[in-house]
Amino acid sequence: MRIEVCHSPELIHLFDLSGKIAVVTDILRATSCMVAGIGSGAEQIVPVAQKEEVNPYKEKGFVTAGERGGEKIEGFDIGNSPFEHMEIAQKGKSVVMTTTNGTVAITKSAVEAKQVIIGAFLNISSVVQYLKESGKDIVIVCSGWKGMFSMEDTLFAGALVDRLESVAEIVDDAALSSMSLYRAVSGDLLGYMQNASHAKRLSGLKAVKDLEYCMTKDEFDVIPVLKDGALV
């Protein structure tokens, strides 16, 4: 088993994903919302890159979810808070979702990867267990922010590499340095995150509760898997 880290969807073309599992992560907040949604009973969550792509699903009665720049998209049912996703999910709804970075990373990964699964701190132990049992090569795809590196996704990638190190070969410097960073700050992850750029953005959007929740480990034991374009 080999493990690599891709720090941004803009870098995916540099990776060979064929035959591998892509673990897509967008800790703040898309993949945390997906784990919380599926873990709370959502029927399915369809990730789409563009806002307009939600329309055919909306006509079929899907709940529309998403943000641009962190703010709920006008006319959508909900934004991108895990708490909103949990509330909708408890009604067993199907959701179509588009976000600035997370849904882009998923759709790009799906082009080549053998399997796309969704990772967050909220389901980290289940993801680790699944990856160990699969024995397949892994690329952790960080959603980043508008093509750039992000602290929270890197910390999650580092946490996964840390837990898989004993069974996996670390292939690249991105994986190695993510693990080193995680190990250096894991004693106070939330404290370290206060200086991250997206944490500051979310605090401007009054979403501090979201940040705290998204940094929580193992609230759920589900692993959303992409099947025929939908996370189930």
Per CB under 6 A, residues contacting ligand 3SL are 26, 28-30, 67, 70, 80, 99-102, 143
Phi and psi for 219 in degrees, rounded to 5? -80, -25
Phi-psi region of 140 (alpha: psi -120 to 50; beta: other; left: phi over 0): beta
Among residues 23, 34, 24, the alpha carbon closest in space to that of 1 is found at: 23
User: Do residues 232 and 95 lie in contact, with contact meaning Cβ atoms separated by under 8 Å?
Assistant: no
Torsion angle, alpha carbons of 183, 186, 190, 192, to 10 = -40
Residue 104 CB, shortest distance to ligand 3SL, in Å, is: 7
Residue 203 CB, shortest distance to ligand 3SL, in Å, is: 12
Q: Among residues 69 and 187, whose Cβ is nearest to ligand 3SL? A: 69
Q: Among residues 25 and 40, whose Cβ is nearest to ligand 3SL? A: 25
Q: How many residues does the chain have?
A: 232
Q: Among residues 81 and 137, whose Cβ is nearest to ligand 3SL? A: 81
Residue tagged 């849904």 (tokens): 103
Q: Among residues 64 and 179, whose Cβ is nearest to ligand 3SL? A: 64
Q: Among residues 161 and 211, whose Cβ is nearest to ligand 3SL? A: 211
Residue 43 CB, shortest distance to ligand 3SL, in Å, is: 21
In whole angstroms, what is the distance from residue 102 CA to residue 149 CA? 13
Phi and psi for 117 in degrees, rounded to 5? -120, 160
Residue tagged 């976000």 (tokens): 99
Residue 57 CB, shortest distance to ligand 3SL, in Å, is: 18
Residue 72 CB, shortest distance to ligand 3SL, in Å, is: 9
